[in-house]
Structure formats: C-alpha cells, structure tokens
Structure 1
Amino acid sequence: MKYETYREYDPHHSALAESAFLTVWAGLGQWHESLVLIGGMVPKYLCGDLSGTRSLPRPATLDVDLGIALATDSGQYGNLFWELSGQGFKPNKDHPSRFEKIIGDFTVPLDFLVEKPPLTSGTTQLEDITAGVLPGVDRALATARRITVQGIDLHGAEQKLTARVCEVGPFLALKLRAFCNRQQPKDAFDIIYTLLHYDGGSAAAIAAFAEEVRLENPACPDALRTLREHFSSETSPGPVKASHFVLGEFAPGESEDVRFERTTIRQDMVDAAERLLKAAAK
C-alpha cells in the first residue's frame, strides 16, 4: 500500500505498521534466521537517529514486507500459518502472498517475498504459506544487519527485539528494481532518503550497491537499467517523482522556497544516480 505524496501518510497508521512488525517478529522467533525485513520500513532502521534535523521528512510506510528463505526442510515452515493466525493475521483472498490484520478502520498488510530462480515474478508455495517471488531477497537474507528495535506491539505490550534488517546494498538494488517496474514516488523517495541519510554515510551506501553489482545480485540488472533510464536528468521520472512525493504536485505559483527545495531534491537524486553508476562500473 503506497500513497502518491508524503502528506497522505497518517502518522498513526505508520505507527501501526511498525507495531505490526514488532508483533510478527516477536511471534516468529524460530524462523528469525530465515527472515529479513525489506521494503519501506527499512530506511528508518538503516538511517540512525531520527531526532536530528534532516533535509527530508522522516520515512513512512503502511505495510510490512518480509523476505523469507526458500524452504529446504519439508517441515521447516509447517506452523508458520498458525503462528500468524495466533497473532491475528489472516490471509488476503485476493493477494495470496499477503496476510493482514484489521485494527479499527485500518488494515495492516504483511507480505512474504522469496527468491526462486529462474522465476522473476508470481508466487510460490512454502509449505503452508504463499510467498511472492522477488529477485534479490537471498542477498538481503545473507547480509542482513541485526538491529535492536523497540516499541509497542499491536497488543499494547512493550517490545525490545533484535531484528534482521535488509542492509543498504541489497535494499538499494531492490528499491531501484521496484521503481523500474512501477515508478511509484514512494520508491524514489526511499532511495534518495537512504542515500542521503544512511548511518554509514553516502559513500558507504554507494560502495555497498556496487558490491551487489559485482556479486551479481539478480536485482541489479533492472536496478542499473533504472538508473540509466529513469534518473539521468532533473526531468527524468525518478527525480521528479521523488520531489513530488515530498512536496506534492508542482504548482506554477508555488513559492521560491518550495521551488528551490524541489530543485534541490531533483539535483540530489541525479547526483546520487551518477555516483551509483560510476561505482558500479569500476
């Protein structure tokens, strides 16, 4: 679930998505080594302290995406469905790889994604659940960072957990590939936010992406094509949609400050894309 602009994200709903992650992670302890957080929640955890001043708004998301290892033991995931049901998550009939929990008037989606070459799309069965096929998940699993996360889960309990979170190289590869296929403003924003605010620094983030290219992460061919085709100039889809997500639709009469901010975001996006391509070509 994604909105076109940042202002459409209700902070309460974003908080519910994070609470859902805490709830699910706490309940799936026996599968932790086979799971990794991917998707729009990742920038919050990779980009360090959120209390300081930043040029971009804080990350926001309304769903939880978990990468999962392809089952090698026939009974490994035999009770996963029941564990999720016990936490109140039910399968979505229209989206086989999605579970969801209704909280008041809001539905929190939980998607499972798996790598299964040579498939690049569709779904596959992992014992008693269905997962969407997504190239690049295995690298997210292999390089996951252990991060302490804390907050209130959906049952009102205080949680402090060690979660496995997708590292910056695989994350950028996945997000760029996603933009290639759907060109959503939220994906462009997640890319530039992470590159500008990664807790290891922008240079480290770019080097990590280049390493994914070198190791032939299957998400990288589309990621590189995205950089070349959609991030090459300030009027390309990537930079335009990143600025659109932050500031909304361009208005001819908008203030000079807003125009300057819009231009800055686009320039930062183009510069970052050039650095990513240059590093990947070495």
Structure 2
Amino acid sequence: MGKELKPRTAAGYNADVTVACERTLLTLLSAFGNLKDTLRLVGGLVPRYLTPEAPPEVPSHAGTSDVDIVLNLEVLAEGDEYRSLAEQLKGRGFVRWVEDGKVASWRWRRKVDEHIEVVVELLRDAGEENPGRTVNVSGEAVSALTIKHAKIVHDWYQERTVSAQLLDGGGLSVDQVRFADVPAFVILKAIALDQRQENKDAADLIHVLRYSGSIEKVAGLFVDRIRSGMHMAAVSDGMAALKRRFCDDEYGEGFEKVGAVAYARFHGTDDDDDQVRTQRYAAGLVQALLEQIDTQLEAVKEPA
C-alpha cells in the first residue's frame, strides 16, 4: 500500500472521517498506557479542539483523515512501558504502513469500518539533524519521523477533555487530549506549508488564525510565547515562513503568494473574483497578525 495523497479541496473531506479520527486517537491513547500524557497531537485534527465549532461565529473545520502524534523519545526511553508498544498497537488493531513493499514503522493504519481507514503518523523533533529521517524507538519495531521544531509542542500545548467511542466496541472513553496551542500550531503549519506547499496546510493555518479570537488576542498569544525566550529558532523560522508565503515583499504582493493561493484553492471556487478576494483575505490576515505582534512587542519595550 502506497502513501495516499491528501484531498486538495474542502470537498474531499468528510465529517464522518474526522469523527473516526477522534475515535482512533482515543484508541491510540489507550495503547500508550502511562505514557499517553507525554503525547502531543499536531496536524489536521487540532483545529477541532483549538477552534471548536460554534455556529454561526465559528463554522466547523474541514476535518482530517489522519492522526499526527509527536512522541517524546527521551521520556519513552526512561520507562519500561514503551517496550510493549508495538504489541499494544497491534492488539488494538493498528497495522504498520507498507510503502513500496517496505514497512514504514512510523506510519500505522487502522480500519474503522468497511469504508473508512485512518492513518496514524508518529513524529519526533529533528533536533540538529535534517528532518525527514526515521528514528527507532529503542527496543521496538516502532519508529518516528523527524520533524523540524516538533519539540515546541512538549512545552506549548493545551488540554481538552474528549469523549468518543473506542473502536471495536470498546465502550465510551473520556480522556485528556494534549495538542499544539495556537502559536505552536501556526508555527508548525507555516513551516510545513513552506516546505510542501499543500492546500490543506494553508487552510488549517488560516482557519485557526481566523477563529481563535481577535487578531489582537492571537498576536498576544504569540507575544507571550516570544517573551518566554523559549524555542526562539522555531519562532524565527515560523515567522519567516509566514512572511515568505503570505506577505508583500520585493518579489510580489502577498495575495499572489503560495500560501494565499493554496488557501483559496482549498476552498475552491470557479469565480475568479471570489478567488482573488479569498487570496487577499488570507494574505491580509497573516500580515495583520505579524504587524500586531510587532506592535505589541514594541509596546512591551517602551518604558512605563
């Protein structure tokens, strides 16, 4: 089985699949036992928790078809529970992904019903090494794909109580899900968009910025993180990616940039004027955020 391509537009996503992802997530947490508190959710399921649907002010997010989890391998290595991780995953119906005849032990799949299969990706911070490598979890036939700056979610996260029916009739589970907070999510999504330029990355990023609160409030979240002095390389790379993919510069106007176009294409329209308006909205939102962050940082520097 080869790697699936993500849908390019919102029409390719289904609410039933997103619910299946949530059920898969809670089933996955049960496989990690005492280590589940060390897991951090990133990727397309996060907006479900960062910006919960509250019509008409907050519409439902497009959803996702996979579950992305960042592991803390340093913590895993200190305990004994990780030694049975592969067996725990298999016992809960997870199967390793096969790519071009080779087993990818950082990528697992879980059949939910005859129509839906959810993909689970296990990730970890790349550290000083190039991202995109796989690192084995010691003593296990399980690995994690290295992602640039993924470690920020171990410090910058939120928690939410989530309930869902476990797969295979396991009953209703109520658990704490720990997921990337707004700055961490936007930074990681901006870097992902910068690297692979997928429509869904731009759509997730703009959705979270748009519905997490006023631009002043969202900028304040970033300023708080910046003032902490932590993960400054990640902040710098994330801000640079946002500017490169959404903002006016000597190369062109922001609405012409990859990020703005990807966002508009995800929300597909046949009307050229609507397309441009959507592009301008995305670029304007990101530029307003960055300007507000600068304004708030300058205000902090000014003497009382």
Shared fold (TM-score greater than 0.5)? Answer: yes
Displacement of 1:3 in angstroms is 1.5
User: Contact conserved, 2:107 with 2:120, CA < 8 A, in 1?
Assistant: yes
* 1:2 paired residue number: 6
Number of aligned residues: 276
Q: 2:44 aligns with which of 40, 43, 51?
A: 40
Equivalences for residues 230-269 of structure 1 within 5 A: 230-232=245-247, 233-246=254-267, 248-252=268-272, 260=277, 263-269=280-286
Identity of aligned residues (%): 22
CA apart distance, 1:143:
2.8
Aligned partners of 2:44 and 2:244: how far apart in 1? 23
Matches within 5 A, 1:1-282: 2-48=6-52, 50-54=53-57, 57-71=60-74, 72-73=77-78, 75-94=80-99, 95-103=104-112, 104-121=114-131, 122-127=133-138, 128=140, 129-156=142-169, 157-198=171-212, 201-213=214-226, 214-232=229-247, 233-246=254-267, 248-252=268-272, 260=277, 263-276=280-293
> 1:4 deviation in Å?
0.9
Quickly say closer, same or farther: Cα 1:208–1:5, change in 2 above 3 A: same
SS across alignment from 1:160: strand
Please, what is the CA RMSD of the aligned residues? 2.6
Which segment drifts farther, 80-89 or 98-107?
A: 98-107
One-letter amino acid of the counterpart of residue 226, structure 1: A
1:80 shift after superposition: 1.2
SS at match of 2:188: helix
TM-score, reference length from structure 2: 0.80
Q: Distance in 2 between matches of 1:155 and 1:112?
A: 22
Determine the C-alpha separation between the residues in 2 that align with 1:268 and 1:173: 15
**Letter of the structure 2 residue corresponding to residue 272 of structure 1:** L
Counterpart residue number, 2:250? none
TM-superposed deviation, 1:185: 1.1
CA contact (8 A) 2:218 2:289 kept: no
- Aligned counterparts of 1:25 and 1:2: Cα–Cα separation in 2: 24
**Quick one: distance in 1 between partners of 2:45 and 2:21?**
9
- Relative distance call for 1:4 and 1:98 in structure 2 (3 A) is same
Structure 2 CA distance for partners of 1:87 and 1:74, relative to 1, 3 Å: same
**Residues 153-184 of structure 1: CA distance to partner in whole angstroms, max 9, x if unpaired?**
32242222111121112111111110110111
| SS of structure 1 residue aligned to 2:54 | coil
| Structure (1 or 2) with the larger CA radius of gyration | 2
On the 8 A contact 1:19/1:154 being kept in 2, the answer is: yes
* Structure 1, gaps ≥5 residues long: none
CA contact (8 A) 1:227 1:277 kept: no
State the TM-score, normalizing by the size of structure 1: 0.86
